[in-house]
Amino acid sequence: MGLRFLLLAGLCLAAGQAHAGLFDDEEARRQVQQVQERVSRLAETGRQQAELIGQQAETIRQLTETGQQQTRSMLDLQAQIEAQNAELRNLRGKNEELVHGLQDAEKRQKDFYIDLDTRIRHFESIEAASAAAPPPDKAADAAVAADDPATENRAYEAAYGFFKAGDHQKAASAFQEFLKKFPESVYAPKASYELGGAYFAIKDYRSALASYQLLAGKYSFSLKAQDAMLGVADCQQELNDTAAARKTLKQIIAKYPGSETADKAKERLAALK
């Protein structure tokens, strides 16, 4: 009995220890599983935070790039504004020059018409005096002839008659004589222009060039001055001085913008290229 009791007690003790061991293993597995779950959750959280950081970095990069583009755009816009301001200042300067030139031209034109009116009145007074006075002798007539507007008019008409008839050699001589006798005549600009045309017709391009240049310089107030500059370019081209002709045509375009003469100059300049 005693031995059987001892064996039974031993078996109970062994079973208790086995049950306790089994209980310890299950608790250990449960704790390991909990740790693994926590590690997984932490890993997932870390991954999500890494993705968020990456997104934030990309957003920062895009914002930085956008800021740089905006800075470049602002610099470009500022450069364009400065260029436009410079162009505006340049245009204002040219406008002031044009206004000043127009005022000078108007003054010269006014002086021209005043002079023309004075000469007409002088001519009318001479005609009235001639009608009231007895006919003068030939000597007195010769002394007055040089200052007589009627003589001046007849001299111009005679020279122009040669030109219209196509006798350009005689026309050139007659216009030369007219300008020598009446350098201050109201017909002087037209006479200089026709003289250049007469020389050009007989292929004396150097003399024609001198006549046109005289007109464009001395009588720049005349409407014929624009045509004279075209004549200068034509003579330069005939003399094979293409560079000078191109320069003259550009001067015409700049000096008389929007005019018919400037349009002609543009056409001839295009033909030279």
Q: For 179-223, how does the pLDDT look when each residue is reduced to its tens digit (9 = 90+)? A: 999 988 889 999 999 999 999 999 999 999 999 999 998 888 888
Q: Are residues 66 and 156 in the same domain?
A: no
Are 225 and 215 in contact, with CB atoms under 8 Å apart? yes
Q: Are residues 63 and 41 in the same domain?
A: yes
Q: Are residues 45 and 130 in the same domain?
A: no
Q: Are residues 247 and 161 in the same domain?
A: yes
Q: Are residues 124 and 194 in the same domain?
A: no
74 domain residue, yes or no: yes
Query: What angle, 0 to 180 degrees and rounded to 10, lies between the N-to-C axes of helices 149-165 and 188-201?
Result: 20
172 domain residue, yes or no: yes
92 domain residue, yes or no: no
Task: Provide the CATH number for the domain around residue 159.
Answer: 1.25.40.10
Distance CA 108, CA 189 (A): 13
Q: Are residues 123 and 233 in the same domain?
A: no
Report how many domains make up the chain: 3
Q: Are residues 255 and 159 in the same domain?
A: yes
Residue 145 has a pLDDT of 46
pTM over 0.75: no
Domain range for residue 130? 99-134
Q: Are residues 175 and 252 in the same domain?
A: yes
Q: Are residues 155 and 261 in the same domain?
A: yes
Distance CA 57, CA 149 (A): 96
Using left for φ > 0, alpha for ψ between -120 and 50, and beta otherwise, residue 244 falls in: alpha
Per DSSP, the three-state class of 238 is: helix
Q: What is the pLDDT of residues 62-104, one digit of tens each?
A: 988 888 888 888 888 888 888 887 777 777 767 666 765 666 6
115 domain residue, yes or no: yes
Q: Are residues 35 and 103 in the same domain?
A: no
Vertex 246 angle, CA 212 and 239, to 5°? 60
Q: Are residues 218 and 183 in the same domain?
A: yes
144 domain residue, yes or no: no
Q: Are residues 240 and 264 in the same domain?
A: yes
